[in-house]
Structure 1
Amino acid sequence: MRRHVTRLLLLGLLVVFSLSVFAKVTITASVWSWDVEKYKKIVSEFNKYYPDIEVVLVVNEPDVNGFLTARVSAKQLLPDVVVQSWEALPYPVSQGWIYPIDEFLKNDADLKHMPLALRQSFVYNGKTYALPERLHFQGIVMNLDLLKKLNLQAPKYEAFTVNIFKTYLRKATTREYSGINHLWDFDNVEAAVLSKDTTFWGFNPKKWEFELATGGWLPAIKLQKELKGVPGLVSDDLKNDELRNKGELDDYQKKFGKDADAFRESKVLMGLHGTWDWSWVRTLPWNLDYYPMPFEPQVGQRIPVHVNYAFMTSTTKYPKEAFAFLRFLTYDPRGVVARLKIDVANGEENGRLIDWFVPATMHPDVIKYFDSLKIPNGVKWMLKNLDKAVRVDMWKTVPGWDQATWDVIFPVSEKVRRGEVQTETVAVETQEKANKIIKDAWSDFSKKLTEVEKKFPEIRKQVEGK
């Protein structure tokens, strides 16, 4: 009798075990090679909440779009989730490789903490093809030690206007010091701050066209030229490779020293840098903070951000499970905080965290934990004001962007910087040429997208075996 009961118990346990094994779903997620070990830890955190979803990691080398193309060409399965990308999204969308996720976003209370401007970045024809995975703020690194030495009060983030910016740069420009290290790309980024309607390079994302003549481009160029016109204000403008190649000292070396790195040596008040430069910014030997780009009060504060994104592929066999992982990575506060804790565990140097990232959500739990990190207070302030963010990395989402900017606008911008042409005389003609490229590229993309939308139901039937 006892043997019979024991056999029944063992049989029952085997049945339960078998059911649990068969109930487990396996999905794949592609990550960068340098992030594999980190994402193993993230998967472990994910499995605390979703123990029945196994996540297998694959490496998306050499780049996301190239990786997907190679997989399709080799007739290999696509990963269920692509963890992070900073490449042009229109390409995989136009190929039909991405799963629109709007069905999973409905009535999700946590989604409201992600600013609408960020969510809408990856929407085409009313469908959401990706979610922000992490952000980078583009701003100003402020030398707090030099600020104190110059008897200047640290400005408030919300009061860092163009006038304050210019005043501090001028006061910091002396025989010994300079105001800022460089202004490369300053005008393009500032164009997103000096207008309520335009973003990077004076592009209006609502109208889907450049407004060089009426947007933020002209005032940004004017500001840049004004700053460059102050002798010694921009330290890197004092460099002259032609003189150095002759073995002569240029103005930079005469001012700061033959082998000087003026910014690192605390002889420059501000640096134009994004948070992506943290790996070396954190090594600077002086007290620092990050400030938002300077704004005009009549326009209001606008915080330039770059947005890396993640998405699900259209051929995933398990869309619900794939979305659970995608959500965990992007705006689920449990997942975002878990990821931050993993970075914190990597340690710190000189009182600064070695690794961290800017989340794409303002969820209270995320804000609270982010506030505890040993990172610049200005970055914490910018996350709390993420609703004022404006995207500047438009090349990731606008078809034809590179051709319009680098082939048309950039050459004109260079002539403007050299003083060969006046911005007012070339703005209209330049924007017309650039907008034609954008219009034609969108027309081509739209046709492909229409076909993709038609085929998507059929793709899903094949994947689901219906």
Structure 2
Amino acid sequence: MKRYSRVFLMMFLLLFSISIFAKATITVSVWSWNVDRYKKLIAEFNKYYPDIEVKLVVNEPEVNSFLTARASAKQVLPDVIAESWEPLSYPVSQGWVYPLDEFLKDDPYIKYVPNSVRNAFKYNGKTYALGERLHFECIVLNLDLLKKLNLQVPKYEEWTVDLFKNYARRATTREYSGINQLWEFDTFMAAVLSDHTTFWSFDPEKWEFDLVKGGWIPAIKLQKELKSIPGLVSDDMINQEARNKGELDDYQKKFGKDADAFRESKVLMGFEATYDWSWLRTVPWNFDYYPLPYDQKIGQRFPVHVNYTFVTSTTKYPKEAFLFARFLTYDPRGVVARLKLFESEGEEKGRLIDWFIPATMHPDVINYFEKMKIPNGIKYMLKNLDKTVRVDMWKVVPGWVEVIWDIIFPVNEKIRAGATQPEAVAAETQEKANKVIKESWTIFQKKLAEAEKKFPQIRKQIEGK
């Protein structure tokens, strides 16, 4: 009997030791093109958290359809969705997202995340996602052409609307143009020329459009002013109908039959974004990114897009899943590790091939970012991340797409064509848009309430309580 007792005791101790030192295993969904990058990031993560095993899942073709397919097939959802830029309102309404506030409460790193990012993915006061990377809407300034035109390199903090207009006019000559294009310039400037509205003049505090008193009207006026100056907007001179007839349009007459004026350094500025880097880095001239120009009465406001990461509600290990999500998004150790991974992919002509804008102002991140071979204007905007204004509202506002394309966009087109004035249609358009937004929000709220109600039950089942 003593022999069997000893054997039983040894087996018990063995099983007990295994249970103590067993790793928590979490799954993380990523895009197929990022698998190798994430394998390296996981190795960095395990330097700090060796007891957490991370396995990768590919979430093709897109995040929301991937989750839908998994849920429909009654398959387990990944514990972490590493990166998405699709509407978060959908998975939240389905009850697939784990609110993270319990982990954020006393977190030492969260204070370095600016409010524009920290509050970007909240519903009913709960945080459903973390900002993973940022993209700025910007003005790309051709520094070589600036010098040729005898214009001084402006300081970022002095880049006002008046200075921007002055440079655009002075660069518009028989040979050059001030800016390449202004498509949607007014919609983004609506977030700059107001102290309370964002993209398309939406007020995120009141959850409604403010076309009457927000940035919509002044932004439209600014765009119309710029477009009224002949030759200032290079792409406005393109006439495809004339080209189809074999005729030269004004663009070709000015720049050449087969010209690409922007690439050939014949346009001073480009209305572009940081997500355009893959082709912008190939231009043969020196340039810098500048914020969109600001109104001195309002101050600087940088329109920013926020891609995000979230933890799923069905995870068996919510704390461990959060730690990886944090490492990916705003833990300075993880963010710097990610920056190094991008940096290791090399450079061309003194410019990094790829990089990303972090969602944190932690000193360690800013100090490392400062040394990277990317435009100085991006470094300036990261150091002033607290001046950002969120513009990718389609990710969080139910009904956004329908309102923009069915109600506001057609009105904008009439204004651009000169068929009406913004002041004449602002109130009526605003009323129509807000009616749909409120209806969509009511529907979403019902789904959200149901998801919030089911969440404790889901967690009890998963935790075996």
Question: What band does the TM-score fall into relative to the shorter chain?
Answer: over 0.9
Q: Between the two proteins, what is the percent identity of the paired residues?
A: 72
Supply the distance in 2 between the matched residues of 1:36 and 1:246 (Cα, whole angstroms): 48
Q: Residues 126-164 of structure 1: CA distance to partner in whole angstroms, max 9, x if unpaired?
A: 110001000001111100000000000011101100000
- What is the aligned partner in structure 2 of residue 34 from structure 1? 33
Supply the distance in 2 between the matched residues of 1:311 and 1:218 (Cα, whole angstroms): 36
- What is the aligned partner in structure 1 of residue 6 from structure 2? none
Supply the distance in 2 between the matched residues of 1:265 and 1:114 (Cα, whole angstroms): 39
Supply the distance in 2 between the matched residues of 1:284 and 1:17 (Cα, whole angstroms): 62
Q: Following TM superposition, by how much is the alpha carbon of 1:19 offset from its aligned partner in structure 2, in angstroms?
A: 2.5
Supply the distance in 2 between the matched residues of 1:392 and 1:147 (Cα, whole angstroms): 29
Q: Which amino acid aligns with 1:28?
A: T
Give 3-state SS (helix, strand or coil) of 2:83's partner: strand
Q: Residues 299-326 of structure 1: CA distance to partner in whole angstroms, max 9, x if unpaired?
A: 1100000000000000000001101100
Q: Residues 87-120 of structure 1: CA distance to partner in whole angstroms, max 9, x if unpaired?
A: 0011100000000010000111210000012111
- What is the aligned partner in structure 1 of residue 159 from structure 2? 160
- What is the aligned partner in structure 2 of residue 66 from structure 1? 65
Q: Following TM superposition, by how much is the alpha carbon of 1:406 offset from its aligned partner in structure 2, in angstroms?
A: 0.8
Q: Following TM superposition, by how much is the alpha carbon of 1:367 offset from its aligned partner in structure 2, in angstroms?
A: 0.2
- What is the aligned partner in structure 1 of residue 82 from structure 2? 83
Q: Following TM superposition, by how much is the alpha carbon of 1:451 offset from its aligned partner in structure 2, in angstroms?
A: 1.0
Q: Which amino acid aligns with 2:445?
A: S
Q: Following TM superposition, by how much is the alpha carbon of 1:21 offset from its aligned partner in structure 2, in angstroms?
A: 8.6
Question: Are 2:199 and 1:224 aligned?
Answer: no
Give 3-state SS (helix, strand or coil) of 2:153's partner: coil
Q: Following TM superposition, by how much is the alpha carbon of 1:15 offset from its aligned partner in structure 2, in angstroms?
A: 4.6
Question: Are 2:125 and 1:100 aligned?
Answer: no
- What is the aligned partner in structure 2 of residue 3 from structure 1? none
For residues 29-428 of structure 1, the aligned pairs below 5 Å read 29-428=28-427
Supply the distance in 2 between the matched residues of 1:81 and 1:188 (Cα, whole angstroms): 33
Give 3-state SS (helix, strand or coil) of 1:398's partner: coil
- What is the aligned partner in structure 2 of residue 429 from structure 1? 428
Unaligned runs of 5+ in 2: 1-9
Q: Which amino acid aligns with 2:219?
A: A
Q: Which amino acid aligns with 2:333?
A: R
Q: Which amino acid aligns with 1:360?
A: A
Supply the distance in 2 between the matched residues of 1:25 and 1:125 (Cα, whole angstroms): 31
Q: Residues 388-416 of structure 1: CA distance to partner in whole angstroms, max 9, x if unpaired?
A: 00011000011110011111000000000
Q: Residues 238-270 of structure 1: CA distance to partner in whole angstroms, max 9, x if unpaired?
A: 000001111111000010011100000000000
Going from structure 1 to structure 2, the CA distance change for 1:391 and 1:53 (only over 3 Å counts) comes to same
Give 3-state SS (helix, strand or coil) of 1:194's partner: coil
Which TM-score applies when normalising by structure 2?
A: 0.96
Supply the distance in 1 between the matched residues of 2:368 and 2:317 (Cα, whole angstroms): 32
Q: Is the 8 A contact 2:197 2:204 kept in 1?
A: yes
Give 3-state SS (helix, strand or coil) of 2:357's partner: coil
Supply the distance in 2 between the matched residues of 1:160 and 1:391 (Cα, whole angstroms): 20
Deviates more, 1:182-191 or 1:444-453: 444-453
| Number of residues of Structure 1 aligned to a counterpart in Structure 2 | 456
Supply the distance in 2 between the matched residues of 1:379 and 1:284 (Cα, whole angstroms): 18
Give 3-state SS (helix, strand or coil) of 2:119's partner: helix
Supply the distance in 2 between the matched residues of 1:149 and 1:299 (Cα, whole angstroms): 32
Give 3-state SS (helix, strand or coil) of 1:62's partner: coil
Give 3-state SS (helix, strand or coil) of 2:292's partner: coil
Supply the distance in 2 between the matched residues of 1:355 and 1:15 (Cα, whole angstroms): 48
Give 3-state SS (helix, strand or coil) of 2:53's partner: strand
Supply the distance in 2 between the matched residues of 1:172 and 1:212 (Cα, whole angstroms): 32
Q: Is the 8 A contact 2:21 2:51 kept in 1?
A: no
Supply the distance in 1 between the matched residues of 2:364 and 2:322 (Cα, whole angstroms): 21
Q: Following TM superposition, by how much is the alpha carbon of 1:17 offset from its aligned partner in structure 2, in angstroms?
A: 11
Give 3-state SS (helix, strand or coil) of 1:58's partner: strand
- What is the aligned partner in structure 1 of residue 5 from structure 2? none
Give 3-state SS (helix, strand or coil) of 2:27's partner: strand
Q: Residues 26-47 of structure 1: CA distance to partner in whole angstroms, max 9, x if unpaired?
A: 1000001111111111111101
Supply the distance in 2 between the matched residues of 1:17 and 1:264 (Cα, whole angstroms): 66
- What is the aligned partner in structure 2 of residue 460 from structure 1? 459
Unaligned runs of 5+ in 1: 1-10
Q: Residues 202-222 of structure 1: CA distance to partner in whole angstroms, max 9, x if unpaired?
A: 000001000001100000000
Supply the distance in 1 between the matched residues of 2:99 and 2:417 (Cα, whole angstroms): 46
Q: Following TM superposition, by how much is the alpha carbon of 1:16 offset from its aligned partner in structure 2, in angstroms?
A: 10
Which TM-score applies when normalising by structure 1?
A: 0.96
